[in-house]
Structure 1
Amino acid sequence: MRLIIAEKPSLARAIADALPGQSRRSDGAVTVGDTTVTWCLGHLLEQAPPDAYDPALKQWRLDHLPILPNPWRLMPRPKARGQLAVIRRLLKEASSVVHAGDPDREGQLLVQEVLDYLKWRGPVARLLVNDLNRPAVVKALGQLRDNSEFQALYRAAETRSRADWLYGINLTRAWTLTGRQAGHNGVLSVGRVQTPVLGLVVRRDAEIAAFTPRPFHVLWVDLAVEHGNLRAWWQPGEHHPLDDQGRLLQRGPAEALAARLPGSQGTLASLNAKKSRQAAPLPYSLSALQVDAARRYKLSAKAVLDTCQSLYERHKLITYPRSDCRYLPAAHHGPSRQALTNACQGDATLGPWLAGADFSLRSKAFNDAKVSAHHALSPTGTRPDFSRLSATEANVFRLIARNVLAQFYPPLETREVKAEFTILEERFRAQGREILAPGWKPLFTTRDEAPPLPPLREGEPARVQETGVEDRETRPPEPFTDASLIKAMMNIARYVQDPAVKRTLRDSDGLGTEATRAGIIETLLDRGYLVRQQQALRATQIGHALINALPEAVGRAERTALWEQRLTDIAETGSDPSPFLSGLVEDLRGLLGAADAGRMRSALSDARGVAPAAPSAATSKRKPRRASTGKGATAKRGSSKRSTTQSASGKTTGTSSGRRKAGTSKPRSKKTDDA
């Protein structure tokens, strides 16, 4: 019997449907001819907790650190034992195995660690599926490769998992115990991704708190030109008092010029008109959808993820949602007409959009070379019953369908005009935008565009009709919201200075993954490091204190970039991961040496009064989340796709009384992990 082990049930169903013959379902598997297809439920295994290596490590003590497992051990996840037993039974009957994890680093680890744990020693082939469309799966089944070709990818994923455990377990215990010495009761969780995300919010809040508004002044003129009227803005020269962005800092020069301008005659000194064509926005990845849904419907990142899971699993209306890709396979182009026709049936919003689509068009979104482990979110072609969808489900589904529909609309064509006038030997600038062909634009906005400039020709006269001086103030940065924080995590390179690090982060997936970003935000909220104030995400007192007490590098993204460089090298060249892990241990020793109760005490004191307190257990309405068993679990890990439910001590813990001797007792609080 040939056994195919898929990463998740949806992939297993697609593989079984692509096999020739009648299928027969059993508990946890599908059999077709001499092939049985089973599946994982995300990660079936997790890193063992510290006390699995030594019972003494169940107690949290500074003199136990660093904890360095040797050899490393995995253990079954509690909710995955049943499926693990199914795979164990099937392996005893198998003559060969096909590894059908996702074609990425984590997908390679997810299935192979199960085979190693269950001590499979027979042949293993590798099936690479990135499109659940039946012809694509049939093609992939005809192109099996030897799993030995992917051992470097496996070692890189295994190394990442171990490195995150070392980092999170050791630093969480160190700063929790140091916090207790400084008077803080409760776990202070530290992780390679979670903590830099918190650092983003803490630093943004600090910028806002330290911001001092500065007044500046603008002067406008309404001009009569040959074919109409327009408004232009004064461009003061460098001999006037300007800030670094060219804004006028004193009102006097603007007032003096405004007094001279009425009735003055000038000329159009320069005219620059440029036509442009803009293709439709690409179909959504999960993070891109979370950004747009947060802006349009004020949904949290987790609400969007949960809604997508419902549309995918319950209603069967969209493809796999936890995707980081914004492209579709070329084979989807032809069937898109029927899939979108079905998706738009009976909806007053989608129906007119469907009517305007031209399915002979082929956008750049259909590109096999750009498709990664998963393709962009798209409708499956199942006809929706909108009466069975919640308002949020319907809104999110429309967004997903709209972005795929937009691929069958022509480009937006515009004409950008910049005009500079000379009046009383001073420069005045006007600019406008004219829509020549709306293309896909009406699907995305119903707002009226600013009126375009009237027809202009260089050298034509212009007469001043009215003038005005406006007083304005510089504004502080906006606090993070779900949308802007997700976007910052996607584009984390913007927040670092080192050019080499910028390049690495630009080439990587940013902080976290599509599957974990919403969970990172929710974890920071649950642990009391962030709080929502209307739509804004603000760091709490303990969030500020933790970042300010940690070494600066722990709260920044540069470490993720350096890790990704090394892990990519392991995956691509097959280099030995031992030097990376040895270097991490040395780094950890230095970081652990920086744990200082005095610095923590000072940080806690400084945070009081300058940041909101975390919600208390008595007043918080947030419900505790259940542990997820999926590879993309959103609640537990911020450092990778892999999720974990263990605490920093390896156990779920309660509330600390705060009366035990600091440094020798095991603090009891909310679950922590190495993210």
Structure 2
Amino acid sequence: MRLIIAEKPSLARAIADALPGASKRGDGAIHVGDTIVTWCLGHLLEQAAPDTYDPAYKQWRLDHLPIVPARWKLVPRSNARGQLKVLRGLLKQADEVVHAGDPDREGQLLVQEVIEYLGWKGPVSRLLINDLNRPAVRHALTRLEDNATYHSLYQAAETRSRADWLYGINLSRAWTLTGRQAGHDGVFSVGRVQTPVLGLVVRRDQAIARFTPRPFHVLWADFKVAQGVVRGWWQPGDVHPLDDQGRLLDPRPARELAARLPGAEGTLSQLESRDKRQVAPLPYSLSALQVDAARRYKLSAKTVLDTCQSLYERHRLITYPRSDCRYLPDAHWQAARETLGRACAQDPTLAGWLAGADFSLRSKAWSDKRVGAHHALAPTGATADLSRLSTTEANVFRLIARNVLAQFYPALQTREIKAEFSVLDEHFRAQGQEVLVPGWKPLFTTRDEAPLLPPLQEGESAKVIDQAVEDRETRPPEPFTDASLIKAMMNIARYVDDPAVKRTLRDTDGLGTEATRAGILETLLDRRYLVRQGSALRATRIGQALIDALPDAATRPERTAIWEQRLRAIAEGDDQAAPFMTNLVADLHTLLAGADAQRMRQALGDADGFEPAPAGRGRGKASRRRSSSPAGGRGTEKSGSGKRTARSRRPRRTQDA
């Protein structure tokens, strides 16, 4: 008997539907001929609690730290015992096993760890499925590989799981106990990903709070030329007081010049034009989709992820969503006319875009060399009736389909124009854009992103017909939103100060993964380290205090970004797990030495973040108020039975994904 173990029930059903023969549903499995398809429910196993290794660890004490297991143990999750029993029984009957976890690091881990935990010693094949449509699943079933090929991927995922346990357990205990000494009645959760993300928000909030607006002044003039009117902006020279960005600090020169401008005659002294060609944006990775959906539809990262999972598992309209790749296989280009035709035909918006597509075009998006375990999000080719989807599902599907359709549109071609006017021995600049070929752009926006200028001729006369001085102020940085924070997590090198570390980080490195970024934001919200204010994400008082109390290195992105590099190297067979873990334990000793009650007490007293709304009243109506007590903030960690406090109950075990 062949046993196929899928990552989740929806994948198991898709596999069973693709197998020849009638299927029969059993207890935790589907029987199809001599094949049985069963499933996990996500992770059925988890890292054992510290007291599993030593009962003394039930009590949280600083002198126990760091806790480092000599031999790692996994235990069943509370809701997994029934399905594990089913799997154990099926493995006893099996002649061969097929691993059908999702095609990524965690998918490799969660099925393989169950196979090993239950003691299977026989052969294991690997089934990789990116698309739940029946033809795609049938094709994948003909291309089984040896699971041993993915052993390094499993090692990387296992190393990540153990490293996160070590980091989260030890630092959370240390700073919870330090917080207790400082008077804070609650749990502080520290993680190698969530804490640097919180640090980004805290530092942005602090920059906003410290910001002092500075006035500056601009002078514009409208010039009448032969075929229209052009607005130019005065370019004050170095003889005037300017800031480091060339902004005028003293309004008097601008006002004196403005008084002389009415009716003044000048010339268009310099005219430059440059033709530009811009190809369509690539198809989406999950994070890129989350950024665009947050900007366009104000959707949270978690909402986008959940919507994509629904479009993938329930509706089978899109390919595997938890992808970090923005390229598609060569074979998808050959089938695109048929695939997109079925996917887009029943929606008026998509059908209009489909009608304008030229399927003879081939963009750089189609590249087998750039596709790894995943490819970019794309329609599967199933007929999409968007009227039967929720509004959010329809909007997200249109975005995914649009970015693939855009590959069959010509490049956007524009002419960028810069003009300089000379009048009264002063210079005014104007710039604008002329669209030569709209290409793919109408699929993305109907607005012009730069002003259109009338036809201009260098040397022509220009007369001032209007002018004004505008008094402005510098603006503080914008608070983070879902879109900007996800983008920051994707491009974390921008937030790294160390030039040497910055150089080592590739554009694809980041905080978290496609599968975890949305969950990280929700975790910080659930633990009340962040609150939403409209679309903005702001740090709470307790969130700010935690960042201020931790060693700076634990709140910065460098460590976790380099972790991801090392884990990727392990996954690719270019590094080993043992040296990584040895370095981590040494690092923990250094970090734990920084746990200091006085620093925590000062951090709690100095914190001036945003208080979350009371539980049950939502997270969107936070008010900013200072607590008079260091323990006055909502820093406790919620569980199914309510709050856990450090004094009344044993603090809950905390780990970070």
TM-score by length of 2: 0.90
RMSD between superposed Cα atoms in Å? 2.8
Q: 1:212 to 1:536 in 2, by over 3 A?
A: same
Q: Aligned residue for 1:378?
A: 378
8 Å contact kept, 1:166–1:674: no
8 Å contact kept, 1:286–1:514: yes
| Distance of 1:145 and 1:357 partners within structure 2 | 37
Q: CA deviation at 1:222?
A: 1.3
Partner deviation per Cα, 1:282-324 (whole Å, 9 max, x = no partner): 2222222222222222222222222223333333333332222
Q: CA deviation at 1:657?
A: 5.8
Q: Aligned residue for 2:355?
A: 355
**One-letter amino acid of the structure 1 residue matched with residue 198 of structure 2:** L
Q: 1:569 to 1:330 in 2, by over 3 A?
A: closer
Q: 1:236 to 1:475 in 2, by over 3 A?
A: same
Q: Aligned residue for 2:565?
A: 565
8 Å contact kept, 2:270–2:421: yes
**One-letter amino acid of the structure 2 residue matched with residue 380 of structure 1:** T
Q: Aligned residue for 1:7?
A: 7
**One-letter amino acid of the structure 2 residue matched with residue 90 of structure 1:** L
8 Å contact kept, 1:218–1:234: yes
Structure 1 segment 559-598 matched on structure 2, within 5 A: 559-573=559-573, 575-598=575-598
Residue 499 in 1 paired to residue 499 in 2? yes
Q: Aligned residue for 2:656?
A: 674
Q: 1:169 to 1:48 in 2, by over 3 A?
A: same
8 Å contact kept, 2:509–2:564: no
SS at match of 2:430: strand
| Distance of 1:240 and 1:459 partners within structure 2 | 28
**One-letter amino acid of the structure 2 residue matched with residue 424 of structure 1:** L
Q: Aligned residue for 2:430?
A: 430
Partner deviation per Cα, 1:378-407 (whole Å, 9 max, x = no partner): 333333444433322222222222222222
Q: Aligned residue for 1:643?
A: none
8 Å contact kept, 1:130–1:372: no
Residue 611 in 1 paired to residue 595 in 2? no
| Distance of 1:156 and 1:313 partners within structure 2 | 26
Partner deviation per Cα, 1:464-515 (whole Å, 9 max, x = no partner): 3322211111000111111111111111111112234234443544111122
Q: 1:488 to 1:263 in 2, by over 3 A?
A: same
Q: Aligned residue for 1:294?
A: 294
8 Å contact kept, 1:240–1:248: yes
Q: Aligned residue for 1:477?
A: 477
Q: Aligned residue for 1:638?
A: none
Q: Aligned residue for 1:414?
A: 414
Q: Aligned residue for 2:159?
A: 159
8 Å contact kept, 1:62–1:174: yes
8 Å contact kept, 1:504–1:564: no
SS at match of 1:349: helix
The share of aligned pairs that are identical, in percent, is 73
**One-letter amino acid of the structure 2 residue matched with residue 42 of structure 1:** G
8 Å contact kept, 1:416–1:434: yes
| Distance of 1:102 and 1:302 partners within structure 2 | 19
Q: CA deviation at 1:25?
A: 5.0
Q: Aligned residue for 2:464?
A: 464
Q: CA deviation at 1:130?
A: 4.5
| Distance of 2:327 and 2:80 partners within structure 1 | 32
**One-letter amino acid of the structure 2 residue matched with residue 115 of structure 1:** I
Q: 1:27 to 1:332 in 2, by over 3 A?
A: farther
Q: CA deviation at 1:344?
A: 3.3
Structure 1 segment 91-170 matched on structure 2, within 5 A: 91-130=91-130, 141=141, 144-170=144-170
Structure 1 segment 206-217 matched on structure 2, within 5 A: 206-217=206-217
| Distance of 1:130 and 1:371 partners within structure 2 | 12
Q: 1:79 to 1:667 in 2, by over 3 A?
A: closer
**One-letter amino acid of the structure 2 residue matched with residue 258 of structure 1:** A
| Distance of 1:197 and 1:236 partners within structure 2 | 41
More RCO (CA 8 Å, sep 6+): 1
| Distance of 1:107 and 1:618 partners within structure 2 | 34
Residue 527 in 1 paired to residue 511 in 2? no
Q: CA deviation at 1:221?
A: 1.6
**One-letter amino acid of the structure 1 residue matched with residue 206 of structure 2:** A
Between 558-567 and 176-185, the greater mean CA deviation after superposition: 558-567
Between 309-318 and 193-202, the greater mean CA deviation after superposition: 309-318
Q: Aligned residue for 1:390?
A: 390
Q: CA deviation at 1:123?
A: 2.6
| Distance of 1:553 and 1:277 partners within structure 2 | 43
Gaps of 5+ in 1: 623-647
Q: Aligned residue for 2:232?
A: 232
**One-letter amino acid of the structure 2 residue matched with residue 56 of structure 1:** A
Q: CA deviation at 1:224?
A: 2.3
Q: Aligned residue for 1:55?
A: 55
Q: 1:179 to 1:5 in 2, by over 3 A?
A: same
| Distance of 1:323 and 1:562 partners within structure 2 | 20
8 Å contact kept, 1:275–1:414: yes
| Distance of 2:149 and 2:515 partners within structure 1 | 27
SS at match of 1:299: coil
| Distance of 1:316 and 1:101 partners within structure 2 | 17
8 Å contact kept, 2:130–2:320: no
Partner deviation per Cα, 1:580-625 (whole Å, 9 max, x = no partner): 2122112111211211111111111101xx3222333364579xxx
8 Å contact kept, 1:131–1:375: no
Between 312-321 and 181-190, the greater mean CA deviation after superposition: 312-321
Q: CA deviation at 1:523?
A: 0.9
Q: CA deviation at 1:250?
A: 0.7
Q: 1:332 to 1:83 in 2, by over 3 A?
A: farther
8 Å contact kept, 1:293–1:396: yes
Between 121-130 and 559-568, the greater mean CA deviation after superposition: 121-130
| Distance of 1:423 and 1:195 partners within structure 2 | 56
Q: CA deviation at 1:262?
A: 3.1
8 Å contact kept, 2:67–2:166: yes
